[in-house]
Amino acid sequence: MPELPEVETTLRGISPYLLNKHIKSVRVRQRQLRWPVPAALSKTRDLKVTALQRRGKYIVAQTPAGSIIIHLGMSGSLRIQDKPFELRKHDHVIFDLGENVFLVYHDPRRFGSILWTTEPAALHPLLSKLGPEPLSDDFNGALLFKQSRKKKVAVKHFIMNSHIVVGVGNIYASESLFHSGIRPGKAAGRVTATAYDQLADNIKTVLSESIKSGGTTLQDFVNAKGEPGYFQQTLNVYGREGKACRQCGNTIKQRTIGQRSTFYCATCQS
């Protein structure tokens, strides 16, 4: 259930154990994830991880032979442990990093994926069409304004589209729209340039503040060391239906947009 801050938190947690280290072998207990885990991975021996990066919600581990692309889906997590046999239900893939260090991929719903490509990862079909990183200078209000003209989709749905901008998931979409005073159901094409400037700024702020807090833990998100995040304490609308708006005191509302639960304050957002 990770969004960008949770993926970033995970990446930072596993990086010391993975970057410039060697993957001795990969053990696949359950290959049926979103897509089957490539057989090539099970056969690999001694892959040095020369770069470890995040692209959107994808984690990319580069090696001289190719790249491993990991997505955590809705319920995925990665953790480091020192014992090879202490595996839990839904621990699907285990990377042996040598010297009793193991990276374990855990994912009850199996919406996540682990892929292997010998092409540069950026050229992979899943990554090649992604929009800009929200925390980069390539992402701004002007881009949102330009991409949204004549679009009728709800602005919340629009900013959650990874081809427009990556990494804005269901929690942070509601939160950044609240901070910007924009109703989530408003047609993307009817949001003004000024409002998009604010929205882009607020997306950046909300995501970076969440990263500072170690991400949001609603039910079960934990970092690579098994610790929760604390950003949920800062949430203004997500999951707060029926409660008082922290800004105006009116009741926070919930409705469904694009099949996803959406939260907003009808007074503060128009």
Among 229, 235, 253, 265, binds DNA (CB under 7 A): 229
What is the spatial distance between Cα 84 and Cα 150, in angstroms, rounded to a whole number? 54
Supply the DSSP string of 181-204, one letter for each residue.
T--TTSBGGGS-HHHHHHHHHHHH
Shorter beta-carbon distance to DNA: residue 147 or 267? 147
Q: Is 223 in the site for DNA (CB under 7 A)?
A: no
Q: Are 96 and 25 in contact (CB under 8 A)?
A: yes
Q: Is 75 in the site for DNA (CB under 7 A)?
A: yes
Supply the DSSP string of 31-96, one letter for each residue.
-BSSSBPPHHHHH---EE--EEEEETTEEEEEETTEEEEEE-TTT-EEEEES-SS---TTEEEEEE
Q: Is 32 in the site for DNA (CB under 7 A)?
A: yes
Applying CB under 7 A, the span of 93-101, 138-146, 166-174, 198-206 interacting with DNA comes to 166-174
Q: Is 89 in the site for DNA (CB under 7 A)?
A: yes
What is residue 224's three-state secondary structure? Answer: coil
Shorter beta-carbon distance to DNA: residue 44 or 210? 210
Please choose, from the candidates 94, 95, 110, 92, the residue with its C-alpha nearest in 3D space to the C-alpha of residue 63: 95
148, 155, 195, 222, 223 from 184: Cα distances, Å: 14, 6, 13, 28, 30
Question: Which residues inside 174-193 make contact with DNA, applying CB under 7 A?
Answer: none
Q: Is 71 in the site for DNA (CB under 7 A)?
A: yes
Shorter beta-carbon distance to DNA: residue 66 or 73? 73
Q: Is 261 in the site for DNA (CB under 7 A)?
A: yes
Q: Is 169 in the site for DNA (CB under 7 A)?
A: yes
Q: Please list the active-site residues.
A: 2-3, 57, 260
Residues that bind DNA (CB under 7 A): 1-3, 6, 32, 34, 56-57, 71, 73-75, 89-90, 108-111, 125-126, 150-154, 157, 160, 162-163, 169-171, 215-221, 229, 258-261
